[in-house]
A and B are shown apart, each in its own frame.
Chain A
Amino acid sequence: MNWHRFHRLVFAAATVLVVAACGSSSTAGATDWSTQTSASGGGGMDALVAAAKAEGKLTVIALPPDWANYGAIISGFKAKYGIDITSLNPNGSSQDEVNAFDGTSRAPDVVDVGLAVALANADKFAPYQVKEWNDIPTGAKEASGKWYNDYGGYMGIGYDSSKVPTITSVQDLLGSAFKSKVALAGDPTKSNQGLNGVIMASVANGGSLDDVSKGVDFFHQLKQKGNYVPVVGTAATVKSGQTPVLFEWDYLSASHGKDVSTWKIFVPGNAIIGGYYSQAINKQAPHPAAARLWEEYLYSDEGQNLWLKGGARPVRQAAMTSAGTIDTAAAAALPAVSGTPQVPSGDQTSKASTYVQANWSAAVA
C-alpha cells in the first residue's frame, strides 16, 4: 500500500467515525436533559416525550391522591405517556420533600412545595421554563425558572352544617354551639397549612399579615371556651365527626364533600388568605426528561383543569379564562370569594412562624 492511498484511507475512516459520532449524539439520547431549561432547547416536545418514555419512570413525592385531585393527575399522566409513577411519602411535608434529595436513583424528580421551603432551597432546583411560562404572573415564579407557582387556594373554614349552625364570621366559632368542635388541619408550629389558618384568624380579628398575635389570641380564647380540639384534622376525623369544624385550604376542604354530604366551606370576606404551592425540578433528578415532561403536563390545559376540578385555583386560570380553555363548570363550583385576597410573603411567613413557635404552646395548652 503506497503512502498516498494509506493517507486517504485513514482520512476516510476518520471522517466516517466523526460522522457516526455526530450522528449518534443527535439521535440516541445525547441531549442531556438535566441541563435543558426548556423543551425547545432540547429539541422540541417530541424529543422530550421520546426521552421521557426512554427513561420510563418518574418519582414524585408528597402528593396524596385526594389533594387537589392529584390522584387523577397521576393516572392521567400515566395513561397519556405510559410512564410509571412512583409516589413516595404521600403524607410528607414540604421539608420532607427536599430532605429526600439524596442523590440516589430513588430520589424524587419533582417536588410541590410551599413558598418558604422553595425560597430556602432554590439552589437544589434545576431551572426550567414550561411552554406556558409567560402565562405565569411575574410575582409567582423565580426569574430563572427554579420554582414556579402551580396552584393555590384560600384558607377557609369547612364545617358540617348538620352539626353546627351556619358560619357567617370567624367570631361565630366562639359561640357555645361549637363546643369541642373546632380544629386545625396541621400543627401551626410546623405545618404551612396550620400556620396560614392562624394568620387567617388573625386578619379576621383585626390583625394583619405582619401581626399574627391576634390569631394566637383567638385560638387561646377558643381553648378557654372549650371549643378547640387539638386533634389534627384529617378526612377520617371529619367523617367520624371528631372535627366538624376545620381550618383548611378550600380545595382540601372540598374533598370532604364526598364523605359528609352536608359539608360547607366558609371563606371570611375580610380575611382572604391565599396560599400557592410551587413546582420545582431536582437538580440531580434521576429521570430528568420525565421530570420536565411532568412539568409540561401540569401546566398544559389538561393538567391545569384537573387541578381546577380538585377545587384548587390553577396559576394559569386568568390566562385560560380569556383564552376560553378553562373548564367552566369546575370554575363555577369553586367557593365564591368576594374581596381582595392577600398572600403572605416569605418574610411575613417566617415572622409569623417565629411568633407562633414561641407562643403557641402557652396559648392552647
Chain B
Amino acid sequence: MAARRLKLQAFRVVVFAVCGVFFLVPLGAMLEFSTRGNDVASPRTLAAWQRIPSTPQLADAITASLELAVITSLMMLLLVLPTMVWVRLRLPRLSRVVEFICLMPLTVPAIALVVGIRPIYIWISINVTDSILALAFAYLILVLPYSYRALDAGLGAIDLKTLTEAARSLGAGWGTVMLRIVVPNMRSAILNAGLLSVALVLGEYTFANLLNYENLQVAIQYVSLVDASTSIAVAVAALLFAFVILLVLSLIGSGQAVDKPKRPALARIGSWGQRT
C-alpha cells in the first residue's frame, strides 16, 4: 500500500514537472519580452504594462465581457444541463443527435460561422437591441461543445437513473431532483463547464470583432498595436485577468461543498461516487 502510494506520488511529481516546464516556459518568454527596453543595453521596463490602462473604453469592455461571461454560463447551465439529463433519462436515442449538434460549432472555423450568423445579428441589431449582451446567444453556441463534454463526463460518472428514480419515488419533483440530486453530484463537472464557458467568453475575439461589437479582446487589440512590447504585455495581462476570475469562480464553486450535509437521507443518496 505504501509502495503504491509512493509510486503515485513519484508519478505526480514527474507529470507536474514536465507539464510545468512545457506550459510555463513560453509564458515566461512572453513576460520577459514585455519588459524589455528598446535597446540591447536598456534596462528592464514596465512601460509596456503601464500603457494598458490607457486603452480607450477599457472599463466598459471589461464590464461587458464579464456580464457576457455570467449570462452565457447561466444560460448554459439552465439550457444544456436539464436537456442532457432529460435526454439521458427519457430519450436516449436522441443522445447521438444532441452530441453531434453540440460538437458542430467546433467543426467550422469561427469566421465561417460568423458569416452564417451575421444576418441573424443584423436582424437583432435593427429590430431588438443594439446591446453587446445580445452576443450571449452566439457565445452559448460556441460554448456548447466544451460544456457538453464536461457535463457528459460528469453525468456518466453518476448513476443518474437510479438516483432520480429513488428521489422521484420519495416524492421529489423534477426541480428538486435537479437542484438537490443532480447538481450536488456533479460539482466538478458543472464547475469545469463553467470555467470553460467563462474562459471562452473572456477570450473570444472573432465573433465580437466581425459583428462590430467591442468586448474585452477587441478593446485591447487597439492598444496592443501601439507598440511591440505592449502587444505581448496586453496578452499576458488578459491571461492573468482571466486566471484570477476563474480562480475566484472555482473558490466559490467548491467552497459550497464544505457546508453540504443538511438533509441526511438525500445527502447519503447524493454522496455516491462524487467527491469534489
Contacts and interface: CB of A to CB of B under 8 A. Distances in A.
B179 interface: no
Given A88-B209, A240-B33, A258-B38, A104 B125 contact: yes
B225 A105 contact: no
Contacts of A65: 222-223, 225-226
Contacts of B229: 236, 239, 259
Nearest to A258: B38
A259 B38 CA distance: 5
A86 B57 CA distance: 9
A90 B228 contact: no
Contacts, number: 86
Given A66-B226, A104-B212, A235 B39 contact: no
Interface residues of A, number: 34
Interface string A4-15: 000000000000
A64 B227 contact: no
Interface string B228-242: 110110000000000
Interface string A200-230: 0000000000000000000000000000000
A234 B213 contact: no
A261 B41 CA distance: 11
A106 B232 contact: no
A91 interface: yes
B104 interface: no
Contacts of B209: 88-89, 92
B257 interface: no
B226 A71 contact: yes
Nearest to A239: B228
A290 interface: no
B110 to A, nearest CB: 13
A99 interface: yes
Contacts of A64: 222, 225
A45 to B, nearest CB: 27
Interface of B: 33, 36, 38-40, 56, 118, 121-122, 125-126, 130, 209-214, 218, 221-223, 225-229, 231-232
A-B residue pairs, 10 tightest by C-beta: A235-B228, A239-B228, A106-B212, A104-B125, A64-B225, A236-B228, A259-B228, A65-B226, A102-B122, A90-B222
